[in-house]
Amino acid sequence: MTACPFGTRRTRRWIPWLSISVPALGWLVFVLYPSAATVYYSLTQYSGVPGAPVDYCGLCNYRMAFTSVSGPTWEALKVTLVYAAGVTVLQIVFGLGLAMLLNRRGRMFSLYRALVFMPQIFSVTIVGALFSLILDPITGPAEKILHGLFGASSAFLGDSNISLLLIILINVWMFTGYTMLIYIAGLRRIPRELYEAAALDGCGWWSRFRRITWPMLAASTTVNVFLTAMGCLGEYALIILLTDGQFGTQTIGMYMFQQAFGQQSQLGYGSMLAMLQFAMTLVIGGVVLWALRRREVQL
């Protein structure tokens, strides 16, 4: 602890407290309290209707969620896992591929990087409108291409077999640019001498990648996997726009939003779902971080 040098002898003791008072109070009221209250709400049947009782009911929501193994909550947990795993794997593959392709000097390459990054700055509403248009089963170009090439047709986002995959791909389209940039930052930190030495030893493209690039990017991979997986576990804004949780795309976040702010207004059940999402984030985040850190040390 160091003393604050500012102010007179009398004021310097409370100046630091004054400094943090407003942001800390705001934090308590609008961040910490809502988080803590979620735990309590998840133990109630609160409907959120003004004047209605909070109705404490213990673990009733948790019991209801897990009584049947085929219930919507289990389904949502599975969908969330597939969604998060799919986006993370694809985004790492495409992000790394694009980073290695576009990490070159020249004005054109800086334009290419900007184009790949661009979808990131659009609101989910814009991206949702864009892909609803492209994947429209009657007037969309995806339909025309599919029909022209294979004579087939599809309901796209309305087809339960592929809608989750499509949403995964749209998510990857939107955020690959960020993954790419983190990888580019990593690539720029790899010393050139390593590649020169490898070239002298006659290493081919693949062994250079496997022995130098991939291990040297371990820290960037940790950041990318962690950020992408954590982001996906809580993401549902894009799903609201594209399918509204129908056709096998009900993630846990989407289910929570629908329960709490849809027609039912089940704030208690919704809070329980928020708790499940939190537990999932905690477990997966912890495991991912632990595994990747260990890997970083080994490589």
Partner 1 sequence: MRRSARDRLLRALGVHSLSFVISAGLFALPIVYLALQAFKSYPEFLQNPTGLPSSWTFANFTSAWTEGDFGPELINSLVYALIPDVVTLLLGVFLAFPISRGYFRFSNVLYAFFVFSGFLPAGLIPLFVEARALHLYNNMVGYLVLTSFAGAGFFFFVGYIKSIPREIDEAAALEGCGYFRFITRIIIPQMRPALAAFAVFGFVASWNNLILPLVMLSNQSLWPVTRGLYGFMSQYTTQWPLIAAGTVIVAIPVLILFGLLQRHLVEGVAGGAVAGAQPVTQGPPSTTDAA
Structure tokens at 272: 């329980």
Nearest Cα neighbor of 249 from 263, 235, 262 is 235
How many whole angstroms separate alpha carbon 11 and alpha carbon 271? 44
Q: Which of residues 32-51 bind partner 1 (CB under 8 A)?
A: 32-39, 41, 46, 48, 50
Tokens of 71: 């219930």
Quote the least distance from Cβ 246 to partner 1, whole Å: 14
Q: Rule CB under 8 A: which of 5-34 touch partner 1? A: 5-7, 15-16, 19-20, 22-24, 26-27, 29-34
Residue carrying the six token digits 């209605």: 52
- CB neighbours of residue 187 within 10 Å: 16
Per CB under 8 A, which of residues 179..218 are in contact with partner 1?
181-182, 184-185, 188-189
**Dihedral sign (CA 135, 136, 141, 147):** positive
Q: Which amino acid makes up residue 125?
A: T
86 binds partner 1 (CB under 8 A): no
Do residues 241 and 125 touch, judged by C-beta distance below 8 A? yes
| Three-state DSSP class for residue 265 | coil
Q: Return the residue of 62, 112, 195, 209 that touches partner 1, per CB under 8 A.
A: 112
Member of 68, 123, 161, 207 binding partner 1 (CB under 8 A): 123
Report, in Å, the least distance between residue 66 CB and partner 1.
18
> Minimum distance between the CB of residue 22 and partner 1, rounded to whole angstroms?
6
265 to each of 69, 127, 149, 206, how far by Cα in Å?
Answer: 24, 28, 46, 55
Please choose, out of 71-79, 96-104, 155-163, 191-199, the segment that lies near partner 1 by the rule CB under 8 A: 96-104
Residues 217-276 that bind partner 1 (CB under 8 A): 223, 227-228, 230-237, 240-241, 253, 256-257, 260-261, 267, 270-271, 274-275
From 59, 68, 93, 101, residue interacting with partner 1 (rule: CB under 8 A): 101
